């Protein structure tokens, strides 16, 4: 079962995402597309940012944060290409793999996943207030509670950080879930097991910095994340 928000549904092949020609403006697509996008963004903190460098795509992993309208990205690497081509469109992709779809035939094997693709011309954030807020969103996305717990960036550190802002205007979400598709066809008679193998992710036990003095407890907002 493959579902696509705010784009035409594409079927059948593992992890084929939508191409840009079928994208729609999110704002024209009402709540459901926007809610799907928000859910995919909320479920992670890492994206793959695609920029064009001398006409060649470069795909780099980076961390993000988001508010209702804007995606903020740590843009250290991309910033050089953005300076070279300030009006260039980038593509940001966030993917969560939920499991393998193990079918009776190899051809029907696929991956269950949730994926958001966002296109836009990013802007380097220069306003100190927006930069601080963007870094807060980015920090809280990956490590909720750390913005209030850790020492916040000072002026020098702010200046040394490249933050990119991308409007959440042009995006698509694609979700693939459910069992294999060959439970009804001729391959069902093969007598083979078929189903899903879930991929689980979770947080382990915090590992203290070896330089940490004795007696400093793991704060509750970190300890509480442990899922295993």
Residue from 78, 92, 97 nearest 37 by CA: 92
- Out of 27, 105, 123, 133, the only residue in the binding site for a copy of itself (CB under 8 A) is 105
- Out of 68, 106, 126, 155, the only residue in the binding site for a copy of itself (CB under 8 A) is 106
- Smallest distance, a copy of itself to C-beta of residue 171, A: 13
- Out of 7, 37, 51, 82, the only residue in the binding site for a copy of itself (CB under 8 A) is 51
CA distances from 183 to 2, 33, 98, 180 (A): 16, 30, 20, 7
Give the 3-state secondary structure of residue 126: coil
Question: With binding defined as CB under 8 A, does residue 61 bind a copy of itself?
Answer: yes
Q: How many residues lie near a copy of itself (CB under 8 A)?
A: 101
- Out of 24, 27, 123, 225, the only residue in the binding site for a copy of itself (CB under 8 A) is 225
Q: Are 63 and 76 a contacting pair, CB within 8 Å?
A: no
Of residues 141 through 200, those in contact with a copy of itself by CB under 8 A are 142-143, 146-147, 149-154, 157, 160-161, 179-180, 183-184, 187-188, 190-200
Token pair belonging to 121: 């011309």
Neighbour count for residue 192 (Cβ, 10 Å): 12
Question: With binding defined as CB under 8 A, does residue 220 bind a copy of itself?
Answer: no
- Smallest distance, a copy of itself to C-beta of residue 130, A: 16
Question: With binding defined as CB under 8 A, does residue 5 bind a copy of itself?
Answer: no
Up-side HSE of residue 18: CA atoms within 13 Å toward CB? 28
Q: Which CB, 28 or 204, lies closer to a copy of itself?
A: 204
Partners of 120 in beta bridges: 90
Give the 3-state secondary structure of residue 168: coil
Q: Which CB, 26 or 118, lies closer to a copy of itself?
A: 118
Q: What is the DSSP letter of 178?
A: S
Q: Are 76 and 146 a contacting pair, CB within 8 Å?
A: no
Q: What is the DSSP letter of 121?
A: -
- Per-residue binding letters, 6-45, with a copy of itself (x by CB under 8 A): -------xxxxxxxx-------------------------
């Amino acid at each position: 079962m493959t579902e696509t928000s705010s784009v035409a549904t594409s079927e059948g092949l593992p992890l084929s995402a939508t191409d840009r020609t079928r994208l729609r403006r999110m704002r024209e697509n009402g709540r459901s597309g926007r809610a799907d996008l928000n859910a995919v963004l909320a479920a992670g903190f890492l994206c793959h940012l695609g920029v064009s460098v001398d006409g060649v795509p470069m795909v780099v992993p980076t961390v993000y944060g988001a508010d209702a309208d804007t995606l903020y990205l740590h843009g250290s690497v991309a910033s050089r290409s953005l300076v070279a081509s300030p009006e260039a469109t980038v593509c940001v992709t966030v993917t969560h793999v939920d499991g393998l779809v193990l079918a009776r035939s190899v051809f029907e094997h696929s991956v269950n996943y949730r994926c958001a693709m966002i296109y836009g011309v990013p802007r380097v954030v220069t306003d100190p207030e927006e930069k601080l807020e963007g870094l807060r969103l980015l920090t809280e996305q990956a490590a909720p509670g750390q913005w209030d717990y850790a020492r916040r960036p000072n002026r020098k550190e702010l200046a040394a950080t490249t933050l990119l802002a991308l409007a959440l205007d042009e995006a698509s979400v694609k979700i693939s879930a459910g069992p294999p598709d060959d439970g009804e066809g001729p391959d069902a008679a093969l007598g083979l097991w078929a189903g899903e193998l879930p991929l689980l992710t979770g947080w382990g036990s915090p590992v203290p910095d070896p330089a940490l003095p004795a007696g400093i407890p793991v704060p509750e907002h970190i300890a509480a994340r442990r899922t295993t």
